[in-house]
Amino acid sequence: MAKKFRKVLVANRGEIAVRVTRTLHEMGIASVAIYSDADRAALHVRVADEAYNVGPAAASESYLRIDRVLDTAKKAGCDAVHPGYGFLSENPDFADACEAKGITFIGPPGSAMRQLGSKTAARKKMGDAGVPIVPGATCETTDEATAAAIKIGFPVMLKASAGGGGKGMRLVNDASEMASAWERARSEAKKFFGDDTVYIEKAIIKPRHVEIQVLGDRDGNTVHVFERDCSIQRRNQKVVEETPSPAASRDLVAKMGAIAVQGAKAVGYFSAGTFEFLLAPDGNFYFLEMNTRLQVEHPVTELVTGLDLVREMVLIAQGEKLGFVQEDLHSRGAAIECRIYAEDPASGFLPSPGKIENLVTPSGPGVRDDGGAYPGCTISSFYDPLISKLSVWAPDRERAVARMRRALGEYIVTGIRTNLAFHEKLFTHPDFIAGNYDTGFLERNTADLLGYPKVAAEQREAVAVAVAIAAARLERATGAQQAQTGQSGSQVSPWVQSQRLRGR
């Protein structure tokens, strides 16, 4: 008999805490927020039914404190905890501690996390399960790494075994680069993960980064929920994600999906999870890692399938079986997501924390904004500077790209710098529009994407009209704010302000 949750603690902050809370409310489940001293006035605190302080601003003293999070859950009378992504979401000790306290962890079992938490262990486990992996080796010394690289064939990639997010990674093109790259990779791995174990993989040239969403229940029923293309990356961090992948046929996706399901079953996995693959230009694909949590980019999957992945996670955690089989799932249309960050592209994408003065988010047909900010709130320097995830859906990719351009043009943020202009330029780049890109696309096109976009003569009038509309919109927003605060006589024109907020 499935147990129905009455109250769930959301062990996270920002937009993902808001997003999880919304689904809980739709399911008739009370939500409990936690917050640090820096997040006392955050949006996720405002939308929850209850909220509790768990410590100072530093995540290590608040959101990462298992004892404080669970003490709060017990104090609030929670049945379960949803970890969101980041923080404790992939910590098997947290999953086990929840269960030990009689609180259900809305996610996979700690045993599955442990098998997949180390990239070297995950490679072996997936290889044994028949999942294709990139040729590689685990080495102890520079000499061993050099010998392995010669055997595998340069170029190779060094990766931190306990790592993620692009930390502890180095591309090595020949033997002369190995010694310095080896030491830098180990040093960075030790700094960020407390473990300097580094392994070596054959570097796949110009790959796509394609991932497969999986869902499984406690009875072993597992399905894949199609793919997401995450190849638009900056320093190995995803920036734009879309589905379907412009580079993968339906037959290839079905094959990748079947392999992902096979891998999930091999470790007794249930809940939501994602298998990440490198897709080579020749059509071969290789296991990269598995993320044992909800992904940042999950909205695009929800838009093309109609599923609520958070709801499915809650139902699975309650002990319910999946309400569908693989043949019931269908992907319809195309969806794209842009990550809107408080950062300054002109300064090497350095974070741009501070107070948001005006915030106008886009709307209209096929537009979804998963945000964690509001006018007057502060983007803290203590955490990831993500403002929101802007997603669109359309019947096909061409119209989805056009819809995203329109939505980006409606997005207004003042008071801080953002990467909105960067996204706008990306969505006018001919190769991106054609779906012709790989994981090195942003690095190769940095000059174009940080400069002014090339506008064909026949498009200049339309661009001028768009600029005028944006300036007028900003003028209205500024005027409204001045009316509320009693200020008047702005000395900066709307056009100048619009360029500042775009980061130009």
Which are the catalytic amino acids? 293
Tracing tokens 């690289």 back to the chain, one arrives at: 149
Three-state DSSP at 243 gives strand
Positions of E strands within 198-270: 198-202, 208-216, 222-234, 237-243
CA–CA distance, 73 with 436 (Å, rounded to integer):
47
Distance CA 35, CA 54 (A): 6
Look up tokens 């768990």; give the residue: 54
Let me know the angle formed at the C-alpha of 345 by 340 and 349, rounded to the nearest 5 degrees: 80
Amino acid, single-letter form, for residue 266: A
Task: Return d(Cα 333, Cα 390) in angstroms, integer.
Answer: 17
Collapsed DSSP state (helix, strand, coil) of residue 42: coil
Cα four-point dihedral sign 306, 307, 311, 315: positive
Rounded Cα distance, 272 and 330, in Å: 17
- Residues β-bridged to residue 413: 359
| Residue closest to 500 by CA, chosen among 371, 387, 455, 492 | 492
Query: Tokens for 70?
Result: 């669970």
